[in-house]
Amino acid sequence: MRMLHTMLRVGDLDASIKFYCDVLGMKLLRKKDYPQGEFTLAFVGYGDESDNTVIELTHNWGVDSYDLGNAYGHIALGVEDIYGACEEIKKRGGKVVREPGPMKGGKTEIAFIEDPTGYKVELIQRA
User: Sign (positive/negative) of CA torsion 91, 117, 15, 34?
Assistant: positive
CA–CA distance, 112 with 95 (Å, rounded to integer):
9
Identify the active-site residue in 49, 88, 114, 122. Answer: 122
114 is catalytic: no
**SS3 track for 91-126:** HCCCEEEEEEEECCCCCCEEEEEECCCCCEEEEEEC
- 3-state DSSP call for residue 65? coil
**Would you name the residues annotated as active-site residues?**
122
